[in-house]
Amino acid sequence: MSGTVPTLYEWAGGLAAFERLTDEMYARVPQDPVLAPVFGSMSAEHSRHVAHFIAEVFGGPPAYSEHEGGHAHMIRRHLNRSLTEEQRRRWFDLMLDCADAAGLPADPEFRAAFVAYLEWGSRLALQNSQPGTAVKEDEHAPMPRWDWGVPGGPY
């Protein structure tokens, strides 16, 4: 890897790091009064799906796209859920707490990219969760790609 810039995925520690993050996150959700009504009854596999999604966004293997349906599938998972700003913000804050607990890198460059993605992604989920939201159903919509200081959202 000498002479090359690692992806955010590599810098974080690969899939294991994102699995620690989401395991930590979704272990806390059932006790959280703001998030439990939304995420408290998710399947045991939910944590892994989210880990694979975030890992792919940060430059990891396309496991989520290959096995779950990519970005279009993630958008559909949020339709008509009527998320609130309070829930979005709590999810965001808890993810940051869990990043520390899971040992994700604390350097400013990584955290800036991580925070930027969480803000963008959670605001997109909030927007798409509102009743009556019309979402373009493009099965081939590109997966967002995040890199060092350069957001790569497709929309």
The residue among 49 and 80 whose pLDDT is bigger is 49
The model's pTM is: 0.86
Task: Report yes or no: 58 and 9 within 8 Å, Cβ to Cβ.
Answer: yes
**CA 99 from chain center: how many Å?**
12
- Quickly tell me which residue has 């779950």 as its tokens: 68
97-146 pLDDT, tens digit per residue, is 999 999 999 999 999 999 999 998 898 888 888 888 776 655 567 788 89
Beta-bridge mates of residue 147: 150
Which CATH superfamily is 8-128 part of? Globins (1.10.490.10)
Q: Give 87's pLDDT tier (boundaries 50, 70, 90).
A: very high
Compute the residue count for the chain.
Answer: 155
pLDDT at 46: 85
State yes or no: pLDDT of 154 exceeds 60.
no
Confidence of residue 65 (pLDDT cuts 50, 70, 90): confident
Residue 25: exposure state from Cβ atoms within 10 A (0-12, 13-18, ≥19):
buried
